[in-house]
Amino acid sequence: MTQLKSLRGMVDLLPDALQRWQAVEAAAREHFRRSGFGEIRTPLLENTDLFCRGIGEATDVVGKEMYTFQDRGERSCTLRPEGTASVVRAALEHGLLSQGPQRLWYCGSMFRYERPQAGRQRQFHQIGVEWLGASSPRSDVEVIALAWDLLDRLGVGGLELELNSLGSIEDRQAYRSALVGWFQERRDALDDDSRSRLESNPLRILDSKNPDTQDLLESAPRLIDALGSDSRERFDSVQHGLHDLGIPFRLNPRLVRGLDYYGHTAFEITSDQLGAQATVCGGGRYNGLVEQLGGPSTPAIGWALGLERLMLVLESAASKDSSGPAARLTEVPVPTAYLVNRGDSAERAALVLARQLRRAGLSVQLDDSGASFSKQFKRADRCGAKQALVIGDDEIKNGIVRIKVLQQQASESTFSLGDINLIVDHLKAS
Protein backbone atom coordinates (compact mmCIF):
# COMPACT_ATOMS: atom_id res chain seq x y z
CA MET A 1 0.00 0.00 0.00
CA THR A 2 1.33 3.44 -0.96
CA GLN A 3 2.38 5.59 2.00
CA LEU A 4 0.30 8.73 2.30
CA LYS A 5 2.10 12.06 2.42
CA SER A 6 1.03 15.63 3.11
CA LEU A 7 -0.13 17.77 0.20
CA ARG A 8 2.48 19.97 -1.47
CA GLY A 9 2.89 23.19 0.45
CA MET A 10 1.25 21.76 3.59
CA VAL A 11 3.98 21.23 6.17
CA ASP A 12 3.89 19.31 9.45
CA LEU A 13 5.20 21.08 12.53
CA LEU A 14 7.09 18.50 14.60
CA PRO A 15 7.61 18.82 18.39
CA ASP A 16 11.07 20.46 18.40
CA ALA A 17 10.08 23.06 15.80
CA LEU A 18 6.70 23.65 17.41
CA GLN A 19 8.32 24.44 20.77
CA ARG A 20 10.23 27.26 19.07
CA TRP A 21 7.06 28.51 17.39
CA GLN A 22 5.23 28.53 20.71
CA ALA A 23 8.06 30.49 22.31
CA VAL A 24 7.70 33.17 19.60
CA GLU A 25 3.92 33.21 20.01
CA ALA A 26 4.26 33.55 23.79
CA ALA A 27 6.66 36.49 23.40
CA ALA A 28 4.24 38.13 20.96
CA ARG A 29 1.28 37.54 23.27
CA GLU A 30 3.05 39.27 26.16
CA HIS A 31 4.20 42.12 23.88
CA PHE A 32 0.64 42.78 22.73
CA ARG A 33 -0.78 42.50 26.26
CA ARG A 34 1.49 45.31 27.43
CA SER A 35 0.25 47.47 24.56
CA GLY A 36 -3.44 46.89 25.24
CA PHE A 37 -4.18 44.59 22.28
CA GLY A 38 -6.59 41.68 22.83
CA GLU A 39 -6.49 38.41 20.95
CA ILE A 40 -9.21 37.45 18.47
CA ARG A 41 -9.67 34.10 16.71
CA THR A 42 -11.69 33.82 13.53
CA PRO A 43 -12.74 30.74 11.48
CA LEU A 44 -10.43 29.26 8.87
CA LEU A 45 -13.35 29.05 6.46
CA GLU A 46 -15.27 32.13 5.32
CA ASN A 47 -17.80 33.20 2.73
CA THR A 48 -15.86 33.78 -0.52
CA ASP A 49 -17.53 37.15 -1.01
CA LEU A 50 -15.75 38.44 2.10
CA PHE A 51 -12.39 38.29 0.32
CA CYS A 52 -13.70 39.34 -3.09
CA ARG A 53 -15.15 42.50 -1.57
CA GLY A 54 -12.44 43.06 0.99
CA ILE A 55 -9.20 42.23 -0.82
CA GLY A 56 -10.30 43.07 -4.37
CA GLU A 57 -11.16 40.80 -7.29
CA ALA A 58 -8.33 42.26 -9.38
CA THR A 59 -5.65 41.14 -6.93
CA ASP A 60 -3.53 38.04 -7.45
CA VAL A 61 -4.74 36.68 -4.11
CA VAL A 62 -8.40 36.57 -5.19
CA GLY A 63 -7.77 35.93 -8.87
CA LYS A 64 -5.18 33.17 -8.66
CA GLU A 65 -4.38 31.98 -5.16
CA MET A 66 -7.48 31.28 -3.07
CA TYR A 67 -8.68 27.81 -2.05
CA THR A 68 -12.37 28.12 -2.96
CA PHE A 69 -15.07 25.44 -3.21
CA GLN A 70 -18.82 24.88 -3.00
CA ASP A 71 -20.05 23.32 0.23
CA ARG A 72 -23.07 21.00 0.53
CA GLY A 73 -25.34 24.01 0.85
CA GLU A 74 -24.03 25.25 -2.53
CA ARG A 75 -22.35 28.21 -0.85
CA SER A 76 -19.01 29.42 -2.12
CA CYS A 77 -16.50 29.02 0.72
CA THR A 78 -12.83 29.99 0.92
CA LEU A 79 -10.01 29.08 3.26
CA ARG A 80 -8.87 32.46 4.53
CA PRO A 81 -5.88 33.80 2.55
CA GLU A 82 -5.20 36.62 5.03
CA GLY A 83 -6.43 37.78 8.42
CA THR A 84 -7.60 41.39 8.13
CA ALA A 85 -10.89 40.86 6.29
CA SER A 86 -11.92 38.14 8.76
CA VAL A 87 -11.12 40.34 11.77
CA VAL A 88 -13.15 43.22 10.32
CA ARG A 89 -16.04 40.87 9.54
CA ALA A 90 -16.00 39.56 13.13
CA ALA A 91 -15.88 43.07 14.58
CA LEU A 92 -18.91 44.09 12.53
CA GLU A 93 -20.87 40.89 13.17
CA HIS A 94 -20.47 41.13 16.95
CA GLY A 95 -20.88 44.89 17.27
CA LEU A 96 -17.39 45.55 18.60
CA LEU A 97 -17.10 48.90 16.83
CA SER A 98 -20.05 50.26 18.78
CA GLN A 99 -17.86 49.88 21.89
CA GLY A 100 -15.17 52.23 20.59
CA PRO A 101 -11.80 51.64 18.90
CA GLN A 102 -10.66 48.03 18.93
CA ARG A 103 -7.03 46.95 19.40
CA LEU A 104 -6.94 43.35 18.20
CA TRP A 105 -4.31 40.77 17.33
CA TYR A 106 -4.49 37.26 15.88
CA CYS A 107 -2.33 34.26 15.15
CA GLY A 108 -3.24 31.39 12.85
CA SER A 109 -3.15 29.54 9.55
CA MET A 110 -3.77 31.14 6.16
CA PHE A 111 -3.96 29.47 2.74
CA ARG A 112 -2.77 30.56 -0.70
CA TYR A 113 -2.13 28.44 -3.77
CA GLU A 114 1.40 29.65 -4.47
CA ARG A 115 4.62 27.95 -5.51
CA PRO A 116 6.12 26.61 -2.26
CA GLN A 117 9.61 27.83 -1.35
CA ALA A 118 11.71 28.43 1.74
CA GLY A 119 9.67 30.49 4.18
CA ARG A 120 6.53 30.37 2.04
CA GLN A 121 4.06 27.49 1.98
CA ARG A 122 0.50 27.03 0.76
CA GLN A 123 -0.65 26.70 4.34
CA PHE A 124 1.23 29.41 6.18
CA HIS A 125 0.92 31.14 9.52
CA GLN A 126 0.65 34.79 10.45
CA ILE A 127 0.71 36.94 13.54
CA GLY A 128 -1.15 40.16 12.88
CA VAL A 129 -2.44 43.35 14.48
CA GLU A 130 -5.56 45.34 13.56
CA TRP A 131 -6.40 48.67 15.20
CA LEU A 132 -9.96 49.53 14.16
CA GLY A 133 -11.11 53.09 14.79
CA ALA A 134 -7.61 54.62 14.91
CA SER A 135 -7.32 57.67 12.66
CA SER A 136 -4.37 59.85 13.70
CA PRO A 137 -0.87 59.75 12.19
CA ARG A 138 0.32 58.95 15.71
CA SER A 139 -1.60 55.65 15.58
CA ASP A 140 0.31 54.77 12.39
CA VAL A 141 3.56 55.41 14.26
CA GLU A 142 2.45 53.38 17.27
CA VAL A 143 1.48 50.38 15.15
CA ILE A 144 4.76 50.47 13.24
CA ALA A 145 6.68 50.73 16.53
CA LEU A 146 4.72 47.75 17.86
CA ALA A 147 6.03 45.63 14.97
CA TRP A 148 9.56 47.03 15.11
CA ASP A 149 9.90 46.48 18.87
CA LEU A 150 8.52 42.94 18.67
CA LEU A 151 11.05 41.94 16.02
CA ASP A 152 13.84 43.62 17.96
CA ARG A 153 12.80 41.86 21.16
CA LEU A 154 12.80 38.51 19.37
CA GLY A 155 16.38 39.10 18.30
CA VAL A 156 15.90 39.81 14.60
CA GLY A 157 18.92 41.76 13.38
CA GLY A 158 19.53 43.96 10.36
CA LEU A 159 16.09 45.54 10.48
CA GLU A 160 15.09 48.15 7.92
CA LEU A 161 11.75 49.95 7.67
CA GLU A 162 10.52 50.89 4.18
CA LEU A 163 7.80 53.51 4.11
CA ASN A 164 5.45 54.99 1.54
CA SER A 165 2.15 56.84 1.34
CA LEU A 166 -0.58 55.62 -1.00
CA GLY A 167 -2.54 58.81 -0.38
CA SER A 168 -6.30 59.23 -0.45
CA ILE A 169 -8.68 57.64 -2.93
CA GLU A 170 -8.65 60.88 -4.91
CA ASP A 171 -4.83 60.94 -4.92
CA ARG A 172 -4.68 57.38 -6.20
CA GLN A 173 -7.30 57.93 -8.87
CA ALA A 174 -5.40 60.91 -10.27
CA TYR A 175 -2.12 59.04 -10.07
CA ARG A 176 -3.64 55.94 -11.64
CA SER A 177 -4.73 57.91 -14.70
CA ALA A 178 -1.28 59.47 -15.10
CA LEU A 179 0.46 56.12 -14.57
CA VAL A 180 -1.73 54.22 -17.04
CA GLY A 181 -1.11 56.89 -19.67
CA TRP A 182 2.65 56.65 -19.07
CA PHE A 183 2.60 52.85 -19.29
CA GLN A 184 0.44 52.87 -22.44
CA GLU A 185 3.17 54.81 -24.22
CA ARG A 186 5.64 52.10 -23.19
CA ARG A 187 3.35 49.07 -23.39
CA ASP A 188 5.72 47.08 -25.58
CA ALA A 189 8.44 47.37 -22.92
CA LEU A 190 6.27 45.79 -20.21
CA ASP A 191 6.41 42.10 -19.32
CA ASP A 192 3.30 39.99 -19.96
CA ASP A 193 2.17 40.01 -16.33
CA SER A 194 2.42 43.80 -16.12
CA ARG A 195 0.49 44.24 -19.38
CA SER A 196 -2.33 42.12 -17.96
CA ARG A 197 -2.39 44.35 -14.86
CA LEU A 198 -2.49 47.56 -16.86
CA GLU A 199 -6.28 47.62 -17.05
CA SER A 200 -7.20 45.82 -13.83
CA ASN A 201 -4.64 46.90 -11.21
CA PRO A 202 -1.91 49.16 -12.64
CA LEU A 203 -0.46 50.16 -9.25
CA ARG A 204 0.65 46.55 -8.77
CA ILE A 205 3.05 47.00 -11.70
CA LEU A 206 5.13 49.17 -9.36
CA ASP A 207 5.79 46.00 -7.34
CA SER A 208 6.90 43.95 -10.37
CA LYS A 209 9.87 41.63 -9.82
CA ASN A 210 10.73 41.57 -13.54
CA PRO A 211 14.21 43.14 -13.93
CA ASP A 212 13.36 44.92 -17.21
CA THR A 213 10.17 46.35 -15.75
CA GLN A 214 12.07 47.46 -12.66
CA ASP A 215 14.52 49.35 -14.88
CA LEU A 216 11.61 50.95 -16.74
CA LEU A 217 10.05 52.05 -13.44
CA GLU A 218 13.07 54.18 -12.59
CA SER A 219 11.62 56.96 -14.75
CA ALA A 220 7.91 56.31 -14.03
CA PRO A 221 5.73 58.94 -12.31
CA ARG A 222 5.86 58.63 -8.50
CA LEU A 223 2.79 58.36 -6.33
CA ILE A 224 4.37 60.49 -3.64
CA ASP A 225 4.56 63.39 -6.11
CA ALA A 226 0.80 63.09 -6.73
CA LEU A 227 -0.22 63.40 -3.07
CA GLY A 228 -2.56 66.23 -2.15
CA SER A 229 -1.65 68.68 0.60
CA ASP A 230 -3.61 66.83 3.31
CA SER A 231 -2.04 63.48 2.42
CA ARG A 232 1.41 65.01 2.28
CA GLU A 233 0.95 66.67 5.69
CA ARG A 234 -0.22 63.38 7.17
CA PHE A 235 2.76 61.50 5.76
CA ASP A 236 5.12 64.15 7.12
CA SER A 237 3.59 63.66 10.58
CA VAL A 238 4.19 59.91 10.39
CA GLN A 239 7.83 60.47 9.49
CA HIS A 240 8.30 62.99 12.31
CA GLY A 241 6.79 60.48 14.76
CA LEU A 242 9.20 57.77 13.68
CA HIS A 243 12.08 60.21 14.07
CA ASP A 244 10.90 60.96 17.62
CA LEU A 245 10.99 57.25 18.46
CA GLY A 246 14.42 56.75 16.91
CA ILE A 247 13.12 54.24 14.37
CA PRO A 248 15.11 54.62 11.12
CA PHE A 249 13.28 54.29 7.80
CA ARG A 250 13.79 54.54 4.07
CA LEU A 251 11.21 56.00 1.69
CA ASN A 252 10.25 53.53 -1.03
CA PRO A 253 7.96 55.13 -3.65
CA ARG A 254 7.28 51.71 -5.25
CA LEU A 255 5.90 50.14 -2.09
CA VAL A 256 2.20 49.59 -2.77
CA ARG A 257 1.42 46.31 -0.92
CA GLY A 258 -0.58 43.57 -2.61
CA LEU A 259 -4.13 44.21 -1.44
CA ASP A 260 -6.61 46.79 -2.72
CA TYR A 261 -7.78 48.03 0.65
CA TYR A 262 -4.62 49.98 1.56
CA GLY A 263 -4.46 53.80 1.54
CA HIS A 264 -2.16 56.42 3.07
CA THR A 265 0.61 54.78 5.13
CA ALA A 266 2.10 51.56 3.76
CA PHE A 267 5.19 49.91 5.19
CA GLU A 268 7.37 46.82 5.21
CA ILE A 269 10.06 45.76 7.67
CA THR A 270 12.91 43.72 6.23
CA SER A 271 15.91 41.94 7.71
CA ASP A 272 19.29 41.06 6.22
CA GLN A 273 19.63 38.09 8.57
CA LEU A 274 19.27 35.65 5.64
CA GLY A 275 21.82 37.51 3.50
CA ALA A 276 19.74 39.62 1.13
CA GLN A 277 17.00 41.84 2.56
CA ALA A 278 13.88 39.72 3.20
CA THR A 279 10.48 41.06 4.20
CA VAL A 280 9.37 39.81 7.61
CA CYS A 281 6.44 42.16 8.29
CA GLY A 282 4.16 44.37 6.21
CA GLY A 283 1.05 46.43 6.62
CA GLY A 284 -0.57 49.81 6.38
CA ARG A 285 -3.70 51.89 6.70
CA TYR A 286 -7.03 50.69 5.27
CA ASN A 287 -9.67 53.32 6.05
CA GLY A 288 -12.19 52.07 3.49
CA LEU A 289 -12.32 48.36 4.29
CA VAL A 290 -14.89 48.43 7.09
CA GLU A 291 -17.30 50.35 4.88
CA GLN A 292 -16.64 47.98 1.96
CA LEU A 293 -17.75 45.12 4.18
CA GLY A 294 -21.02 46.79 5.16
CA GLY A 295 -20.00 48.74 8.25
CA PRO A 296 -19.76 52.44 9.03
CA SER A 297 -16.89 54.55 7.73
CA THR A 298 -14.08 53.53 10.08
CA PRO A 299 -10.36 54.32 9.96
CA ALA A 300 -8.04 51.38 10.61
CA ILE A 301 -4.44 50.27 10.40
CA GLY A 302 -2.66 46.94 10.84
CA TRP A 303 0.14 44.61 9.88
CA ALA A 304 1.02 40.94 9.63
CA LEU A 305 4.21 38.94 9.81
CA GLY A 306 4.75 35.46 8.42
CA LEU A 307 5.89 32.93 10.99
CA GLU A 308 7.63 30.64 8.48
CA ARG A 309 9.87 33.45 7.25
CA LEU A 310 10.35 34.76 10.79
CA MET A 311 11.53 31.37 12.07
CA LEU A 312 14.14 31.16 9.30
CA VAL A 313 15.38 34.62 10.26
CA LEU A 314 15.51 33.74 13.96
CA GLU A 315 17.40 30.51 13.31
CA SER A 316 19.93 32.45 11.25
CA ALA A 317 20.25 35.06 14.01
CA ALA A 318 20.72 32.32 16.61
CA SER A 319 23.52 30.70 14.61
CA LYS A 320 25.36 34.04 14.47
CA ASP A 321 24.95 34.89 18.16
CA SER A 322 24.68 31.81 20.37
CA SER A 323 23.98 33.90 23.48
CA GLY A 324 21.57 36.41 21.94
CA PRO A 325 17.77 36.61 22.37
CA ALA A 326 17.09 34.65 19.16
CA ALA A 327 19.25 31.77 20.40
CA ARG A 328 17.51 31.72 23.76
CA LEU A 329 14.15 31.82 22.05
CA THR A 330 14.84 29.06 19.52
CA GLU A 331 16.69 26.63 21.78
CA VAL A 332 14.83 23.39 22.44
CA PRO A 333 13.83 23.16 26.12
CA VAL A 334 15.46 20.31 28.04
CA PRO A 335 14.01 18.45 31.03
CA THR A 336 15.17 19.23 34.54
CA ALA A 337 15.96 15.55 35.05
CA TYR A 338 15.87 12.18 33.30
CA LEU A 339 14.53 9.29 35.35
CA VAL A 340 16.55 6.11 34.75
CA ASN A 341 14.81 2.99 36.07
CA ARG A 342 14.97 -0.79 35.66
CA GLY A 343 13.11 -3.67 37.30
CA ASP A 344 9.41 -4.19 38.02
CA SER A 345 9.36 -2.53 41.45
CA ALA A 346 11.70 0.25 40.32
CA GLU A 347 9.53 1.05 37.30
CA ARG A 348 6.41 1.34 39.49
CA ALA A 349 8.23 3.60 41.95
CA ALA A 350 9.69 5.68 39.10
CA LEU A 351 6.22 6.37 37.68
CA VAL A 352 5.05 7.60 41.09
CA LEU A 353 8.16 9.75 41.57
CA ALA A 354 7.92 11.28 38.08
CA ARG A 355 4.32 12.29 38.71
CA GLN A 356 5.16 13.83 42.08
CA LEU A 357 8.01 15.87 40.62
CA ARG A 358 5.93 17.05 37.67
CA ARG A 359 3.15 18.14 40.00
CA ALA A 360 5.80 20.17 41.83
CA GLY A 361 6.51 22.06 38.62
CA LEU A 362 9.60 20.20 37.38
CA SER A 363 10.13 18.84 33.89
CA VAL A 364 10.99 15.15 34.19
CA GLN A 365 11.45 12.68 31.34
CA LEU A 366 10.72 9.11 32.38
CA ASP A 367 12.48 6.30 30.50
CA ASP A 368 9.96 3.53 29.89
CA SER A 369 12.14 1.35 27.66
CA GLY A 370 13.21 -1.20 30.25
CA ALA A 371 16.63 -1.13 28.58
CA SER A 372 19.95 -1.52 30.37
CA PHE A 373 21.17 1.29 32.60
CA SER A 374 23.96 2.12 30.14
CA LYS A 375 21.50 2.62 27.25
CA GLN A 376 19.20 4.72 29.43
CA PHE A 377 22.12 6.94 30.50
CA LYS A 378 23.00 7.49 26.84
CA ARG A 379 19.43 8.64 26.20
CA ALA A 380 19.67 10.92 29.24
CA ASP A 381 22.81 12.53 27.81
CA ARG A 382 21.17 13.00 24.40
CA CYS A 383 18.08 14.70 25.81
CA GLY A 384 20.23 17.41 27.38
CA ALA A 385 19.09 16.96 30.98
CA LYS A 386 21.64 18.07 33.57
CA GLN A 387 20.75 15.39 36.10
CA ALA A 388 19.62 11.78 36.16
CA LEU A 389 17.44 10.22 38.82
CA VAL A 390 18.31 6.55 39.24
CA ILE A 391 16.05 3.84 40.65
CA GLY A 392 16.93 0.13 40.40
CA ASP A 393 16.47 -2.97 42.49
CA ASP A 394 19.12 -1.88 45.02
CA GLU A 395 17.52 1.56 45.41
CA ILE A 396 14.10 -0.01 45.97
CA LYS A 397 15.51 -2.26 48.70
CA ASN A 398 16.90 0.79 50.50
CA GLY A 399 13.96 3.11 49.69
CA ILE A 400 16.18 5.69 48.03
CA VAL A 401 16.75 7.49 44.74
CA ARG A 402 20.20 8.47 43.51
CA ILE A 403 20.76 11.78 41.70
CA LYS A 404 23.72 12.01 39.34
CA VAL A 405 24.96 15.10 37.53
CA LEU A 406 25.26 14.10 33.88
CA GLN A 407 28.36 14.69 31.76
CA GLN A 408 30.38 15.57 34.87
CA GLN A 409 32.47 13.63 37.37
CA ALA A 410 30.49 14.99 40.30
CA SER A 411 29.60 13.05 43.41
CA GLU A 412 26.14 11.55 43.67
CA SER A 413 23.42 12.64 46.04
CA THR A 414 21.07 10.19 47.71
CA PHE A 415 17.58 10.90 49.02
CA SER A 416 14.80 8.89 50.55
CA LEU A 417 11.98 8.26 48.08
CA GLY A 418 9.61 9.77 50.63
CA ASP A 419 11.50 13.07 50.88
CA ILE A 420 9.85 14.67 47.85
CA ASN A 421 10.32 18.23 49.07
CA LEU A 422 14.05 17.69 49.56
CA ILE A 423 14.37 16.09 46.13
CA VAL A 424 12.51 19.02 44.53
CA ASP A 425 14.65 21.60 46.34
CA HIS A 426 17.84 19.81 45.30
CA LEU A 427 16.83 19.61 41.62
CA LYS A 428 15.78 23.25 41.54
CA ALA A 429 19.02 24.40 43.18
CA SER A 430 21.32 22.38 40.91
For residue 84, is pLDDT > 90? yes
**Pairwise CA distance, residues 234 & 239, whole Å:** 9
> What would the pLDDT profile of 197-234 be if each residue is shown by its tens digit?
777 778 778 777 788 888 888 888 888 888 999 999 99
In a domain, 205, yes or no: no
305 and 368 inside one domain: no
393 and 356 inside one domain: yes
Instruction: Tell me how crowded residue 162 is: count the other CB atoms within 10 A of its CB.
Output: 18
> What would the pLDDT profile of 30-70 be if each residue is shown by its tens digit?
999 999 999 999 999 999 999 998 887 767 788 889 999 99
In a domain, 128, yes or no: yes
Write down which residue in 307, 328, 349 finishes a domain: 328
In a domain, 185, yes or no: no
Write down which residue in 328, 356, 371 finishes a domain: 328
357 and 278 inside one domain: no
297 and 413 inside one domain: no
- Closest by Cα among 136, 318, 147 to 241: 136
In a domain, 369, yes or no: yes
Rounded average pLDDT over 141-159: 96
Confidence class for position 417, pLDDT limits 50, 70, 90: very high
323 and 256 inside one domain: yes
In a domain, 198, yes or no: no
The pLDDT of residue 421: 95
Write down which residue in 328, 350, 381 finishes a domain: 328
The pLDDT of residue 241: 98
235 and 348 inside one domain: no
128 or 273, greater pLDDT = 128
CA distances from 26 to 8, 31, 99, 196, 327 (A): 29, 9, 28, 43, 15
In a domain, 194, yes or no: no
For residue 261, is pLDDT > 80? no
**Pairwise CA distance, residues 403 & 396, whole Å:** 14
For residue 259, is pLDDT > 60? no
298 and 395 inside one domain: no
In a domain, 6, yes or no: no
Rounded average pLDDT over 115-119: 87
Q: How many domains does the chain have?
A: 2
Among 135-149, 265-279, 357-371, the least confident range? 265-279
The domain that holds 348 is classified in CATH as 3.40.50.800
157 and 286 inside one domain: yes
The domain that holds 45 is classified in CATH as 3.30.930.10
124 and 80 inside one domain: yes
323 and 373 inside one domain: no
The pLDDT of residue 222: 86
Confidence class for position 367, pLDDT limits 50, 70, 90: very high
386 and 293 inside one domain: no
267 and 239 inside one domain: yes
Residue 407 belongs to domain spanning: 337-429
Percent of the chain's residues with pLDDT above 90: 70
In a domain, 84, yes or no: yes
Among 19-23, 187-191, 399-403, 417-421, the least confident range? 187-191
The pLDDT of residue 260: 62
